[in-house]
Structure 1
């Protein structure tokens, strides 16, 4: 019994060492910049739709998540004002300005605004992961480097300052969203999913609905529906990618390979159903799995060189 207890303590200690392994402050800062910039741009793009949703009849409100505290819709001007304030907070979040105040407020504003958008008859899930990432970053010391207000000569806090756990958390959130999607497929369709018929039906119905409503259909939908064997292979690949998401937590080559496979999966969704998930398609969702500081620093260096040469 004592041996089992010691083994359990050892395993927990090893897990803690992995979870809290040091990471550069610049890596977490790079994630703050990339995720914050994406969220701000996404919010700007959603403003017209939010303004339209805010004018829908009150009878159509079906509160989702935090919006459950409302008993009636907010005035349209208030909805737009909250969205604009959230964009401003996200810009401060991205810059790392007043981070201890602006980051939690930006996360709350984003959660509120996108929940409100989903409370009018259709629950959107394309932006769930970005909201989770912003919330996680708001709870982390993500402004210890590359932040507005830090002195030009002030060095970033060292890798032992507690940045590694936050990077791991963002990576775990990315991994978990795909794992949950894979488990949901098995719960709904079981092993029947592997023969390709559920995917074939999903592609056919989705594109038929788009065609009837005058929307754009996917370019590969019709050809693939006529080839069940290909759809069976794609079904197996999709499930393998989703259930294999925890491999991304291994880091290194395994994480990069899984991320590219997941990105290809989303390209396939566009080509077969014309459904876009911009967050992973732009690769921002997968940045926690790699050395994100390199991805952010490279365009910054190119920008500085272009400015110097002009």
Structure 2
């Protein structure tokens, strides 16, 4: 027993980076903002149906719904506070106000039709984060403090216990769900899978009657009762055994991953979406997202350092109108000045591309970067990767098989003169552009 208490105390008062708490704040804020914006019109239509109003929770005392105009302004105010919550501006005031208003808003929303329990965890997470120091990093408040020369906050237990509390809330939601299954009429039928199989069948029939499409995997697995036995046992283990995730970090990560997969299984089998759970945002408190962010930024800085030190040169066909247009396009969207340019017809090309270089046999575009040469579609995509947003998003096309990419490239390259024409000679760049050219 003492070992268990020590393990819990160690987990509860663990020194945690303020970035972790801040990233959870940003994640919950972005999700709630998405919900408010995407459901805005639906919520405004919903509150017009006064006959469906049945107050629950903290609003049990209300006899009549709010005026629709007032609810519209409350919705706008909540969206504004949501943005400030994400940005972390004057968080000692905006954080608690947003947290309380979020609780009241979602309680009011649940006072119409069914109670959407899958969003309760989000509301409770925001309620915790709004009242703790979750804006001590990655916020406008922390940025202002940094500019004033104040000490940057480091890992401390004051950031650890709110994360632990969020874990407890998350685990508690699943544990109560498991207890409700066992305490209900179906009780242990959930364990043998029969209750789950019946629920899946009822959901499919309902969708069929309403003309909706059944879930992707329903027809494939419904006849296999042994699958439902396994899923029923796993579901109860994950829900009733959820408190075990609080004792050790590894157990928590393992439980979070399996539970996240369970939600995706529910989607594929029944077509039911739990967005907060399926995105994995509900499980961030069990992970170490600040380490992911630091690793990403470290790699990004390393890549930028390499690109600054390395010479990235684009060799292009100087008499091709398409190639010249492409070079101008790149130049105007390369705000960091990563690339230098030279025609394939230049002495620089002959010198840098080596004795095997032949203008007649080469591609119409060659990128030399970090001592390596890239041609055809590989060169185009690596160039695009280093352009300004949104042009750098074109790099996702690298997932297209190379033979398809290069096939399209070859067709355009072979026909570039007939389709786009030739220049009489390499165009002379403007004085501002000349410093970007090795030779012209």
The two structures have a TM-score, normalised by structure 2, of 0.64
Partners of 1:257 and 1:70 in 2: CA distance: 43
Q: After TM superposition, give the deviation of residue 113 of structure 1 in Å.
A: 1.9
Query: 182-191 vs 216-225, which deviates more?
Result: 216-225
Which structure features the higher share of strand residues? 2
CA contact (8 A) 2:171 2:243 kept: yes
**Change in CA separation of 1:251 and 1:34 when aligned onto 2, cut-off 3 Å:** farther
* Secondary structure, aligned partner of 1:156: coil
**RCO greater where, 1 or 2, for CA within 8 Å and sep 6 or more?**
1
Counterpart selection for 2:60 from 36, 45, 68: 68
Aligned-residue RMSD, C-alpha: 2.5
Q: After TM superposition, give the deviation of residue 170 of structure 1 in Å.
A: 0.7
Counterpart selection for 1:258 from 252, 255, 258: 255
Partners of 1:307 and 1:177 in 2: CA distance: 49
Matched, 1:143 2:135: yes
**Change in CA separation of 1:297 and 1:126 when aligned onto 2, cut-off 3 Å:** farther
Query: 45-54 vs 17-26, which deviates more?
Result: 17-26
Q: After TM superposition, give the deviation of residue 295 of structure 1 in Å.
A: 4.0
Counterpart selection for 1:289 from 286, 290, 294: 286
**Change in CA separation of 1:307 and 1:298 when aligned onto 2, cut-off 3 Å:** farther
Partners of 1:243 and 1:161 in 2: CA distance: 29
The two structures have a TM-score, normalised by structure 1, of 0.88
Matched, 1:110 2:102: yes
Corresponding position of 2:321:
none
Corresponding position of 1:175:
171
Counterpart selection for 1:33 from 26, 32, 49: 26
Query: 298-307 vs 141-150, which deviates more?
Result: 298-307
Counterpart selection for 1:83 from 72, 75, 85: 75
Structure 2: runs of 5+ lacking an equivalent: 305-333, 337-385, 389-440
CA contact (8 A) 1:30 1:296 kept: no
Structure 1: runs of 5+ lacking an equivalent: 1-6
CA contact (8 A) 2:91 2:141 kept: no
- What per-residue deviation string (whole Å, max 9, x for no partner) do you get for residues 75-124 of structure 1? 22221221221111111111111111111111122222222222122111
Q: State the structure with more CA Rg.
A: 2
Pairing 1:1-310 to 2, within 5 Å after superposition: 15-56=8-49, 58-150=50-142, 151=144, 152-153=146-147, 154-160=150-156, 162-188=158-184, 189-297=186-294, 310=388
**Change in CA separation of 1:99 and 1:290 when aligned onto 2, cut-off 3 Å:** same
Which structure features the higher share of helix residues? 1
